[in-house]
Amino acid sequence: MTVADTLTPRAPTTRPAWLGTAVSPPLDHFALLWALQQSLDPVELLALFSRCLARHVPIEGLGLTYPEGAAQTGDGGVHVSDWPLVTRGAEVAVLHVHSGLPLTRPELAVLREATALLAQPINNALSCERLRRHAQEDALTGLFNRATLMKMLPREMALAEREGTPLAVLMLDLDHFKVINDTHGHGQGDRALALLGSVLHTTLRRSDLAFRYGGEEFVVVLPDTHVEGATLAARRIAARLREQAERELGFAITASIGIAAMPVPGERACDAERLMTRADRALYLAKSQGRDRTLVA
């Protein structure tokens, strides 16, 4: 599905009197460039550009697609034109212009000027977004990293406490990971870690949060989930890991999983450190009792 498909088209409208071949003011390059320096967020930048462009061209909405995603502002229109945004000879994104009326030749000329000025600010914003995302992610697995966990878990716990909903944490550890490295090589060890990251990506709900905690340890935060639901999720993850490892790596991989949940009966408050400690204790017991199993704190 393209950005154009997600926007709601409207019937053609009459071009406002102040927009037209004779009265439309020339594009103020300086004012547009100044406006495009006000944000490094792609969505905000698209909205700023839309407001400036609407003074010259009868647009009803703009869409933006780029390698990592898409953004949009305004409504759809029955007429859509695509404008590649190019910097230093490379296409960084595509701007989708939605209008209720076919654009005139002077309006297309203004649009060509404006998109040329938009390309570099959009490239800067996308670069900053990638840097922010990389600072939060583990490069090997694509999951959030430990630093991000320590920021997000207290927030998720506070939200669950405020709304009176349950929350569960899984702590996972790949069994005998040193043996995997020693037997199959560190490259295969990295593939095993990446495989677990992929399993978490595809198995969890969109509202769940997955993190690489360090080494071969992973953490999953399950909002609005009781212990029973967390146990089912853990078993589903472990089963899929075994299946995919045999199929994709050619050798067995198992995981031990510890579960902790809030609220805790008889406990008035539970902070993030205490919840993680309980999940870690359950994980330790799972490993000491033979590994490849799930235990609840």
Residues taking part in catalysis:
216
- DSSP lists the bridge partners of residue 144 as 137, 211
94 contacts 106 by C-beta, under 8 angstroms:
no
Integer Cα distance of 287 and 297 in angstroms = 13
The DSSP secondary structure of 143-171, one letter per residue, reads SB-HHHHHHHHHHHHHHHHHHT--EEEEE
Integer Cα distance of 166 and 224 in angstroms = 5
H-helix or E-strand spanning residue 249 = none
Give the dihedral of Cα atoms 215, 217, 220, 221; nearest 10 deg: -90
219 contacts 169 by C-beta, under 8 angstroms:
yes
> What is the chain's alpha carbon radius of gyration, rounded to the nearest angstrom?
26
Integer Cα distance of 96 and 265 in angstroms = 54
> Could you tell me the CA-to-CA distances from 27 to 82, 210, 222, 261 in Å, in that order?
20, 47, 51, 58
